[in-house]
Amino acid sequence: MIVSNEFDVVVVGGGPVGLWLACELALAKVKVLVLERRTERVTQSRALTIHARTLEVFALRGIAERFLSQGRPNPVFFFGGLDTLLDFSTLESHFPFTLFLPQATTERLIEERALELGVDIRRGHLVEQVEQNAESVIIRGRTGETPFVFAARYAAGADGARSMVRHALAIDFVGHPARHTMTLADVALDAPPEKPVLTLVNEAGGLVLAPRGDGVHHRIGVIDASSPYSASSEPVSLAEVAACAARIFGGDLRPRDPVWMSRFTDESRLAECYRKGRIFLAGDAAHINPPMGGQGMNVGIQDAMNLGWKLASVIHGTASDEILDSYQSERRPIGEALQEDTLAQFALFSSFDPPALALRRMLSGFLRLPQVNRQLSDQLSGFGVAYPEPLFEAAHNWEHRKGVSGHRLSDANLVLRGGARTTLYHYLQEGRWVLLQVAAESNATPVRDAINIVSLAPGANDGLLGKFASMLVRPDGYLAHVRILYESDDFEAAA
């Protein structure tokens, strides 16, 4: 049997998360292989929601328009099925909305990006064993009846809720077992409601309804109060969905022509760790949650964004292995917060007695307060994520400022030293660090990675820089360090 050693990283799992990780690695000229057990891309809708931070992730790499052109933006979203919707139009971003787009389309677009970058994707490859030693990871499996073996410096498991990689590493998947079942169906409606996004919870059960994004189908999600739990493997019928939705809605929505129907439970689990040695977990392999808020795939893609540039830096020798520990320290708390968020939402959506309905009415009233609505909007969109601990010690004249460093930067307009106008995200498309400065600096930069150094016009970018002379931006669009503007600095002379 031939062992292939031609790859730096093997990614197990070719869904949106695994493919995006491969894209990030290939962008950095890392040799990456994706092994996917399915022979074809997913055709079901599955995840329907791309939140604003994920759209910013795509924009950071210059491909957001590919998704926007095929999805349906919506400025409002639901939290726990409460009557008052979240208002995403207040988000400070070029994407103040959520995008409804079936996962099949999302996966196709990311795969197209991966192929453009030269990613080797091998379908029909079932991984059965993953082992590691001090220098490499060995991946064994079979394609059909033919065995294969690959060796790589690192590996990542993005192979879903029943992750073989996680099992091979003996990583505990701790959390809460299923207690309720939600039935989902993507259907055409002959009698749709007036509001395109609808949530209802009453004594009959819970109902969410949203357009799928193709202009034809809607997604219906229901929990039947009279039968709150069924095995997720139990088949779903259109008649069941129609009857339950009619009881909750108070009228027949007349669903027809289902393109996908399934059951999901409120099972919620989180991997005890995201890294063991040379192997990492991302996406559903690291966290599974109830399908509330449409956050699972989004958090997974953002996991991949966080891991990709760090792994590439270590492979190219521009960062020490210690930076890989920050993947877990930064992303696992996000997984914990996701678990709390989705469990709270599902509790609101799956309780139908008078006390629970009274609580819903009270919380729905709180959501009419702008500051409360904004906080939860940030939480669901991904804009509330910040990384407070520095990746490395600040160099001379640089600082890690609490409340500033570690926060995401939206795509700001820039005026360059020569007067030309461009945007911040333009300089992040290559996946490199970006140093924004208003004067040439003689001191050494605090990292050894290749950096895009951008000289800005003095006084023209105060909305971004404020009192800072320079900003160091991570490849994933978060602020790393700032340099303070000193009175002795003569930026006009340097200009």
pLDDT in tens, 275-307: 999 999 999 999 999 988 899 999 999 999 999
Question: Does domain 398-494 bear CATH number 3.40.30.120?
Answer: yes
What does pTM read for this prediction?
0.93
Going from N- to C-terminal start, the domains of the chain cover: 3-48+102-176+268-350, 181-265, 398-494
Mean pLDDT calculated for residue range 256-275:
95
The pLDDT tens digits of the residues spanning 314-334 come to 999 999 999 999 999 999 999
Amino acid (one-letter) located at 248:
I
Which CATH code is given to the segment(s) 181-265?
Answer: 3.30.70.2450
pLDDT of residue 490: 36
- Whole-number Å distance between alpha carbons of 72 and 93: 17
Q: Is the pLDDT of residue 472 over 90?
A: yes
Q: Is the pLDDT of residue 398 over 90?
A: no
- Whole-number Å distance between alpha carbons of 269 and 265: 12
Start-end of H helices in 123-237: 164-168
Q: What is the mean pLDDT of the chain?
A: 91
- Band of the pLDDT at 493, cuts 50, 70, 90? very low
Q: Are 258 and 187 in contact (CB under 8 A)?
A: yes
Cα 321 to the center of its chain, rounded Å: 24
Give me the DSSP letters along 293-308.
TT-HHHHHHHHHHHHH
The DSSP bridge partners found for residue 399 are 482
pLDDT of residue 448: 46
Residue 459 is encoded by which pair of tokens? Answer: 């006084």
Mean pLDDT calculated for residue range 228-247:
91
pLDDT of residue 446: 41
Q: Which range scores top for mean pLDDT: 25-39, 433-447, 477-491?
A: 25-39
Q: CA-based angle 231:236:242, to the nearest 5?
A: 125
Start-end of H helices in 350-404: 354-366, 370-381
pLDDT of residue 440: 52
Q: Are 214 and 102 in contact (CB under 8 A)?
A: yes
Mean pLDDT calculated for residue range 353-358:
96
pLDDT of residue 233: 84
Architecture of the structural domain at 3-48+102-176+268-350: 3-Layer(bba) Sandwich (3.50)
- Band of the pLDDT at 397, cuts 50, 70, 90? low
pLDDT of residue 389: 85
Q: Are 449 and 433 in contact (CB under 8 A)?
A: yes
Judged by DSSP in three states, 382 sits in: coil
pLDDT of residue 439: 61
Q: Which residue, 465, 450, 452, 451, is CA-closest to 414?
A: 465
**Structure-model confidence comparison of residues 5 and 489, the more confident one:** 5
Mean pLDDT calculated for residue range 102-124:
96
Q: Is the pLDDT of residue 58 over 50?
A: yes
Q: Are 312 and 28 in contact (CB under 8 A)?
A: yes
- Whole-number Å distance between alpha carbons of 410 and 57: 10
The pLDDT tens digits of the residues spanning 356-365 come to 999 999 999 9
- Whole-number Å distance between alpha carbons of 387 and 267: 28
The pLDDT tens digits of the residues spanning 436-468 come to 998 654 343 444 457 899 999 887 777 777 778
